[in-house]
Amino acid sequence: MGRPGIAAVIALAALSGWIASAVSSSADASRPTPPPPVSGPEQTITPTPVLRIGTSIRPSPLIIGRDSVYAVTVTNAEHQDTAGVTVTITLDQNLTPGRVPVGCSRTNRTITCDALTIPADRSVTYEIPVVTDPALQDGTIITNRAHVTGGPATQLISRAQVMTDLEIAADGPRRAKAGDSVPHTLTVTNHGPSRAQQVTVQSPAHGERSLGALAPDETRTFTYTKTPGTPGLFETCAVVRTGSREENDANNRSCTGTTVRPVRAPAPASTPEPSATPRDAAAEAVVVEEPPMAEPKQQQVRENEPLPAPADVPPPAHDEEQGTLPLTGVSVWALGLVVAVLLSVGLLIGYFSRHEPRREKAGRAR
C-alpha cells in the first residue's frame, strides 16, 4: 500500500472516532440530572391505608311508613390495624333516625362515629333504625350517603313503595219488625303502614261513597238507615277499595243481616164476663160456709091442745128451704135419714132377739 492509501485510512479512523464522541455527548446531555443527596435525619414514607365502605337497607324494597334498618360497613383491607377512623352518615330528609349505635353521635340527620380502630382484614358494621315518612308518594327516591376518612364516599339510592291494609266491618241489629228503620254501621280502618289514597266504599244497598285519604291506623265510621217492607232476611254487604298498593285484600268485604218479622194484627177487644147474680152468690156462700144441718125435729102435739088452722100451721123447716137447699145440704140430710133408719132396724132386731127365748120357754112350760 502506498503512502496515499495509508493517509486515507488514518483520516477515516479519525473521522469515525469524532462521530462516536459527538453521539455519546448528546446522549449524556438528554439524561436527567440526579438530585443532590439529602442531608439530615432519615424520613419514612407511610402508605395510605385501604378502607372500603358499603351500605345496605332492609327490608328491600323500602316500605313507606314501616321501620327499616340502614347499615354501614367499613372494611380494613390492610394487613395492619388502622386507628383514628371516622365514619360520617347523612340520612335522607324523609327518614327519621332512631337510636344511634354506641360510640356515635347525631345532629339532625347526620350521624358521626369517630376515634375508631379497625383491625387488619376486619370489618365494622353500624346499624341505624329509621322510619320512612308514611305520607310519601309511591316511588319516592330515598338517598343516604356515607363517608370514611382515608377512604371513598358512597351513597345508597332506594325507591320507596306504598303498602296499605284496609279493613271494613258491617254491623246492624239481629232482629226488626217490618216497617221499622234498620240502621247499619260501616267501619273502615287503614292498618297501614302507608297512607291510603282514593278510598271508596261500595254497597248495593247504599251506593258508593268516597272517603278520600286515610292515614295509618285511621278509622272512619258512618251509618246507613233502610226500612224493609217485607219480612225475611235483610242483608247488607259493603266493599272497600283504594288506589294505593294493598298488602291484604281478604278483609275488604263484610256483610251483616237482620231478620225482619211480620207485624202482628191487633187482637180483638175482649168481652167482659157477666157478673154473678145475687142468687148464685148466695148459693156459693152456702156451699162454702154453711155448717152441716142437724136432724129435723118432729113437732109434738099435745092431746088437749087444739090444732091450728091449716093456714096457721107453719110448714116444716126442710119444706121452706127445699127450694133453695143446695146440693151439699141435701146430701147431709139424706145421710141423717139413712142413719136413723138403720138405727131403728137395729133396735127392732135387738128387741126380737131378746123376746124370742122367753116365748120358747113359755111354750115348753105349757
Domains in the chain with CATH codes: 51-159 (2.60.40.1510), 166-261 (2.60.40.10)
Q: How far apart are CA 122 and CA 119, in angstroms?
A: 5
Do 71 and 57 form a contact (C-beta atoms < 8 A)? yes
Q: How far apart are CA 153 and CA 62, in angstroms?
A: 22
CA distance to 38, 39, 48, 102, per residue, from 42 (Å): 9, 9, 19, 42
Q: Is the pLDDT of residue 164 over 90?
A: yes
Q: What is the pTM of this model?
A: 0.52
Relative to beta strand 104-107, strand 253-261 is unpaired
| pLDDT tier for residue 338 given thresholds of 50, 70 and 90 | confident
Three cell numbers written together for 69:
334498618
- The strand pairing partners of 144, in sequence order, are 156
Helix (H, G, I), strand (E, B) or coil at 139: coil
Q: Is the pLDDT of residue 147 over 60?
A: yes
The residue-averaged pLDDT of 110-124 equals 88
Which residue has better confidence, 109 or 284?
Answer: 109
The residue-averaged pLDDT of 92-98 equals 92
- CA torsion sign for 335, 340, 343, 345 is negative
| Per-range mean pLDDT, top range of 66-70, 289-293, 315-319 | 66-70
Lowest mean pLDDT among 121-125, 188-192, 246-250, 353-357: 353-357
Which residue has better confidence, 263 or 95?
Answer: 95
First vs last C-alpha separation in the chain: 247
Helix (H, G, I), strand (E, B) or coil at 8: helix
Relative to beta strand 104-107, strand 95-97 is unpaired
Q: Mean of the per-residue pLDDT values for the chain? A: 75
Which residue has better confidence, 46 or 199?
Answer: 199
Residue 347: the pLDDT is: 82
